[in-house]
């Protein structure tokens, strides 16, 4: 009988151990941005005025200095999508930069 009560707890623990990215994904609220810069070929820094807001890596897309970036939501987490030049791209390694 005691074992049946432990199975759900053990199952949850196992899922968390097997999927560490889900339990430790970086999330942040961006609010708005009005410009961006590139660091390397796939790292984007968004700015609100002259202040950097967030840094993230882009997967599955090519980002150029002239690219058009559009947020799909204001609260973003690792693995969320963003629109770059009309294509859906994946945001990874999100790091908030503001105060």
Q: In this predicted model, what pLDDT tens digit does every residue of 11-59 receive, in sequence order? A: 555 554 444 444 445 788 887 899 999 998 899 999 999 999 999 999 9
Mean pLDDT of 49-74: 93
Mean pLDDT of 70-93: 93
pLDDT of residue 5: 63
Structure token digits, residue 80 = 């969320």
Residue 73 domain flag: yes
pLDDT of residue 11: 55
Q: What is the mean pLDDT of the chain?
A: 82
Residue 10 domain flag: no
Q: Which domain holds residue 70?
A: 25-96
Mean pLDDT of 71-84: 92
Residue 42 domain flag: yes
Residue 2 domain flag: no
Residue 92 domain flag: yes
Residue 15 domain flag: no
Q: Where are the alpha helices (DSSP H) in 19-62?
A: 20-23
Residue 14 domain flag: no
Residue 29 domain flag: yes
* Ramachandran class of 72: left when φ > 0, alpha when ψ lies in -120 to 50, beta otherwise: alpha
Structure token digits, residue 98 = 């503001």
Strand partners, 95: 55
Domain count, the chain: 1
């Amino acid at each position: 009988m005691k074992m049946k009560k432990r199975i759900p707890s053990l199952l949850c623990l196992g899922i968390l151990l097997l999927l560490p990215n889900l339990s430790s994904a970086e999330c942040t609220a961006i609010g708005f941005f009005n410009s961006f810069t590139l660091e390397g070929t796939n790292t984007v820094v968004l700015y609100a005025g002259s202040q950097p807001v967030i840094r993230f890596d882009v997967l599955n897309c090519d980002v150029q200095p002239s690219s058009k970036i559009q947020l799909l939501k204001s609260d973003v987490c690792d693995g969320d999508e963003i629109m770059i030049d009309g294509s859906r791209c994946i945001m990874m390694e999100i790091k908030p930069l503001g105060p």
